[in-house]
Amino acid sequence: MKKCQETLQPGDMAVTASRVGSGAAWHPACFTCRVCKEILVDLIYFYKDDHVYCGRHHAETLKPRCSACDEIILADECTEAEGRAWHMKHFACLECDKQLGGQRYIMRDGRPYCLQCFDGLFAEYCDSCGDPISVDHGLIRTYYIG
């Protein structure tokens, strides 16, 4: 009823959900999580803002999920970077594990690096002197007056 908008007929098998209220009923195949569409007939369901959710996606309506470990961030403190949330300990350099909250960092392929590791792994080299061009060099402008 709620998903397919078809009327339940007498004799049709139906799912009722006490948390939703009396009179709410679904075809078994229509009683699904709003996000992942998993059928919830034999599972615990959650109801919020006129929608039914599986446990995983209901939790995401309350707290963010860590981009590194994919677990719900239950702590009051987390890091938000690149439009994603991270446990404080998981927002760390992929190479050396240094925590990067409040620090300068570089993202590459969706993963954070501290400046030192990024330079060590991915630095370009100067054609004139052969020295590595660090991330900080990219922020310095050199003007030649002729």
Residue boundaries of the structural domains of the chain: 15-61, 77-144
3-state secondary structure 93-134: CCCCCCECCCCCEEEECCEEEEHHHHHHHHCEECCCCCCEEC
CA distance 145 to 42: 76
Q: How many CA atoms lie less than 13 Å away from 77 in the CB half-sphere?
A: 6
CATH number of 77-144: 2.10.110.10
Q: Helix or strand or coil: residue 47?
A: strand
CATH number of 15-61: 2.60.40.10, 3.90.1640.10, 2.10.110.10, 3.40.50.300? 2.10.110.10
What is the average per-residue pLDDT within 14-26?
Answer: 83
Instruction: Please report the pLDDT score of residue 130 as a whole number.
Output: 82
pLDDT exceeds 80 at position 55: yes
Condensed to tens digits (0 to 9), the pLDDT of residues 105-114 reads: 999 988 899 9
Average pLDDT, the chain: 84
CA distance 2 to 119: 55
